[in-house]
Amino acid sequence: MTMPAPPMGLIAELTHRCPLQCAYCSNPLRMDAPKSELSTDDWKHVLDQAARIGILQVHFSGGEPMARRDLPELIAHAAGAGLYTNVITSGVLLSDAAMDGLMAAGVDHVQLSFQDVDPQKADHDGGYRGGHARKLEAARRIRDSGLPLTANFVIHKRNIARVAAMIALGEALGAERMEIAHTQYYGWALLNRDALLPSREQLDFATAVVEAARARLKGRIAIDYVVPDYHAARPKACMGGWGNRFINISPSGKALPCHAAETLPGFTFPSVKEASLAEIWLGSDAFNRFRGTGWMPETCRSCDRREIDWGGCRCQALALAGDAAQTDPACHRAPDHHRIEEAVAKAAASEALELVPRRMQ
C-alpha cells in the first residue's frame, strides 16, 4: 500500500455540550461527559501536530464549540500554527463580547446554523426559547465584524416546505455561502428518522428551489446542497473517503475517521492522549481498515466509481446492512439497497411523529 497523502482537515469536536436539543443532530446517542473532555493544553498539542502533518483547516465543532470558554485561546493557537480556522456554531452564545473574543483570536470563518425561518417552529425544533432571535443577532454581529458568513439550514420534512424562505433569509443576512443540507441519518437523526426523512416529492421540490436560487445568485452567493443519500442513486463519498482527507477528534480525544465512527463495533479508536496524530493517521488500524479500495466487497471493487464514492459510508452500512464492510445500502447497486427503500416508505407513512430531543443522559 502506498503512503497515505497528508490529511486536509481536522474536525475538533470540543464538547458534546450544547444549549440546543435538535432531534436531527448526528452526534452519537452516547455523548462524552463534560469531565472527560480534553484540556486546553491537550487541544493545543493536537493543533500543533495537525499543522505539522499537513492539515490546512481546523473546524471547531461539537456540540456547541462556544460552550468551551477556551475557544478563543484555541483559535489563536491554531491561527498561530498557520491553520485556517472555522467555527461551526448555533450562535446562541455569540454575544458581543464573544464575537470580540473570536475576532481578537483571528478566526477566519463562522458557520451559523438555523433550525427554520419561522421563529416559533425554529425554537421548538431547537428546544431553546428565543434561540432564533439570538441567531439573527449573531448573524448581524458576524457581518458587522467583517467576517464571511455561512448560513446553514438542515432540512427535513418538518421544515422543507420553507426552503425558499430559508434562502431568502440567508440573502437578507448577507451570507456569502449557504448550506442547504438534508439531514444525515446518524446518531439522534437516525433515531428520529421516521419523523424527519422527506418523501421523494418533497425532495424534488427542495432541489428545484435550490437549483433556481443557485442560478439566480451565481457569483454572489454559493449554495452547497447536501442531498439525502436515502434518495440518491449513489452513496456519498463519506468524509471524502475513509482516512483520506479528515481526522475527527471527539471531545474526549478519540481520533475518528468520521464523527459517527464510534458506532462501529470491533474498533479501538486511538486517543490523542496516547498516540501522535502522525502515528494515528499513518499507522493505526482504525484509519487503515477501510482506507483505499483493498477492503471493498465485490460490488464496490468492480465499480468504476470506487475511487469517487469510496464505497459510501461505513457507519450507514453498519446501521442499515448490519455490516460496516458492506457496500453502503444508499448505492443502487448494493445488495441491501431495498433497506433504504423500506426506510423511505416507512417514513412516508409516519405523519406527525414526536421527536426525541438530543439530551445528555
* Dihedral angle sign, alpha carbons of residues 67, 68, 73, 76: negative
Between 31 and 88, name the residue whose CB sits nearer to other proteins: 88
Residue 104 CB, shortest distance to other proteins, in Å, is 17
Residue 108 CB, shortest distance to other proteins, in Å, is 6
Residue 295 CB, shortest distance to other proteins, in Å, is 26
> Do 73 and 39 meet the contact criterion of CB atoms below 8 Å apart?
no
Between 112 and 190, name the residue whose CB sits nearer to other proteins: 112
Write out the residues near other proteins by the rule CB under 8 A: 6, 8-9, 52-54, 56-57, 59, 84, 86, 108-109, 111, 146-148, 150, 176-177, 179, 218-219, 221-222, 224
Between 49 and 252, name the residue whose CB sits nearer to other proteins: 49
Q: Cell 425558499 identifies what position?
A: 164
Q: Cell 479528515 identifies what position?
A: 246
Between 35 and 220, name the residue whose CB sits nearer to other proteins: 220
Residue 54 CB, shortest distance to other proteins, in Å, is 4
Between 150 and 284, name the residue whose CB sits nearer to other proteins: 150
Residue 177 CB, shortest distance to other proteins, in Å, is 6
* CA-based nearest residue to 232, from 328, 110, 98, 160: 328
Distance CA 35, CA 46 (A): 19
Alpha helices in the chain (DSSP H): 40-52, 71-80, 96-105, 119-126, 131-144, 163-172, 187-191, 193-196, 200-217, 277-283, 285-288, 298-301, 306-309, 314-316, 337-348
Residue 107 CB, shortest distance to other proteins, in Å, is 10
Kindly write down the DSSP assignment for every residue of 98-148, as one continuous string: HHHHHHHHT--EEEEEES-SSHHHHHHHHT-TTHHHHHHHHHHHHHHTT--
Distance CA 57, CA 11 (A): 9
Between 59 and 158, name the residue whose CB sits nearer to other proteins: 59
Residue 112 CB, shortest distance to other proteins, in Å, is 11
Between 59 and 231, name the residue whose CB sits nearer to other proteins: 59
Mapped onto helix, strand or coil, the DSSP state of residue 228 is coil
